Amino acid sequence: MSTLAQRFSGFWLRLVAGSPAGGDPLPVRVGSAEYARTRNAPARVMGFDQPLLWVTVALLAFGLVMVYSASIAMPDNPRFARYAHTHFLVRHLFALFVGFVLALLAFQVPLARWEKWAPWLLVAALVLLVAVLIPGIGRGVNGARRWISLGFMTFQPSELAKFAVVLYAADYMVRKMDVKEKFFRAVMPMAIAVAVLGMLLLAEPDMGAFMVIAIIAMGILFLGGVNARMFFLIAAVMVVAFVLMIALSDWRRERIFAYLDPFSEAHALGKGYQLSHSLIAIGRGEVFGVGLGGSVEKLHWLPEAHTDFLLAVIGEEFGLIGVLSVIGLFLWLVRRIMHIGRQSIALDRVFPGLVAQGVGMWIGFQAFINMGVNLGALPTKGLTLPLMSYGGSAILMNLVALAVVLRVDYENRVLMRGGRV
Rounded Cα gap, residues 421 and 409, in angstroms: 12
Rounded Cα gap, residues 334 and 52, in angstroms: 10
Q: Are 103 and 403 in contact (CB under 8 A)?
A: yes
- What is the radius of gyration, based on Cα positions, of the chain? 23
Q: Are 336 and 409 in contact (CB under 8 A)?
A: no
Rounded Cα gap, residues 204 and 222, in angstroms: 29
How far is C-alpha 369 from the chain's CA centre? 11
Closest to 393 measured CA to CA, from 61, 158, 199? 158
Rounded Cα gap, residues 344 and 174, in angstroms: 14
b/e sequence 174-187, b meaning 16+ C-beta within 10 Å: bebeeebeebeebb
Rounded Cα gap, residues 353 and 344, in angstroms: 5
How far is C-alpha 307 from the chain's CA centre? 15
Give me the residues of the chain with pLDDT under 70, please.
1-46, 142-143, 177-186
Rounded Cα gap, residues 60 and 70, in angstroms: 15
Rounded Cα gap, residues 237 and 2, in angstroms: 59
Kindly tell me the number of DSSP H helices and DSSP E strands found in the chain: 14, 5
Closest to 18 measured CA to CA, from 6, 28, 9, 30? 28
Rounded Cα gap, residues 262 and 258, in angstroms: 5
- Residue 186: per-residue pLDDT: 65
What percent helix, strand, coil does the chain show, rounded to 5? Answer: 65, 5, 30
Mean pLDDT rounded to a whole number for the chain = 84
User: Between the CA of residue 229 and those of 84, 183, 219, what are the distances in Å?
Assistant: 56, 10, 14
- Residue 250: per-residue pLDDT: 79
Rounded Cα gap, residues 382 and 208, in angstroms: 6
Helices (H), 79-110: 87-107
Q: Are 70 and 306 in contact (CB under 8 A)?
A: yes
Would you call 145 helix, strand, or coil by DSSP? strand
- Residue 2: per-residue pLDDT: 44
Beta bridge partners of 33: 30
